[in-house]
Amino acid sequence: MYARLCGCAVLLLIMLAGKALAGQVTHHRFHSETLGRDYPYTLYLPDGYPESGLEYPAVYLLHGSLGSDLDWVNRGALKEVADRLIRQGRIPPTVIVMPGSQSWWVDGRNESARTAFFEDLLPHVEALWQVVPEREWRAVAGLSAGGYGTINFILERPELFAAAAALSPASYHPLPPVNSSAREHSAFLTPEGRFDADLWQRLNYPAHLDSYLAQEYVVPLYLSAGNLDAFDAVRHARKLQRALDEHQPGQVPLEVFRGGHSWRVWRASLPGALTFLFRYLQPPRPLAVPAP
């Protein structure tokens, strides 16, 4: 009986500790001058955020084609994974920002998602929330079309990000497969409703490669994909890996999972992706006190 009571007490303590280390998920909107409408985002705040006296690293986590800012929480188990990794000490407490976009994170035909991300979202988050507004505390990641956006962001603006992760990235080169939603997405359609191959190639990552490889910044990049991916994401990821390997040898790992272009693969990838990011991101630091 004593052992059973002790065991129950230990279990209760573990449950209480798990609850105490639970992060908070909230939903927000702000007016975007670039978009001319509200910009939605979902926010993960670590346990103890309000009273911690700390400012945190920020991970910007992008959704896929036709998705929303709610996807990573509702379908990707983001909160559960982040809570567990923080509780286990595998990553430090962090702020995770999950923005919403109607484009493929580009300045496409339907909206200027790239400009809105850099000129509206980042300044808004860094002014409102306790995050460090410096490269060494900032990372970006995403799945599928969000992986496409992630890769474009780091190659175009490597001075902004310390690390990145792209899960089943839809960075198809030279063109997306015939079954890809990119070919029907309004971001890439002509006024007549046809897929614009020239626009795709102007916006896709090879357009940024030469300038990225010629400059001094290195953005370590975690890649993953499923071995049964209907869009052959593994092959396209390996092509990108080869393009970057000489510039940053050993800093573009590719992890292949069993599965397709699916949440099963992305949920499996998420712990490794977050752990990889925090090999390079700095941990929380004391909140700066404004000078009198």
Output the pLDDT for position 169: 98
Q: Token pair for residue 193?
A: 């409703």
Closest to 224 measured CA to CA, from 185, 253, 191: 253
- DSSP code for 28: E
Output the pLDDT for position 18: 43
Q: Where are the domains of the chain?
A: 21-282
Q: Token pair for residue 95?
A: 């702020």
Output the pLDDT for position 248: 97
Output the pLDDT for position 261: 98
* 114-149 residue pLDDT tens: 999 999 999 999 999 999 999 999 999 999 999 999
pLDDT beneath 70: ranges in the chain: 1-20, 289-292
Give the C-alpha separation, 232 to 148, whole Å. Answer: 14
* 198-213 residue pLDDT tens: 999 999 999 999 999 9
Tracing tokens 């991916």 back to the chain, one arrives at: 229
Phi, psi of 30 (to 5 degrees): -145, 160
Phi, psi of 174 (to 5 degrees): -85, -25
Output the pLDDT for position 199: 97
Output the pLDDT for position 288: 78
Give the C-alpha separation, 228 to 274, whole Å. Answer: 23
Give the C-alpha separation, 43 to 286, whole Å. Answer: 21
Closest to 164 measured CA to CA, from 281, 27, 45: 281
Predicted TM-score (pTM) of the model is 0.92
The CATH number fitting domain 21-282, selected from 3.30.60.50, 3.30.1340.10, 3.40.50.1820, 3.10.580.10: 3.40.50.1820
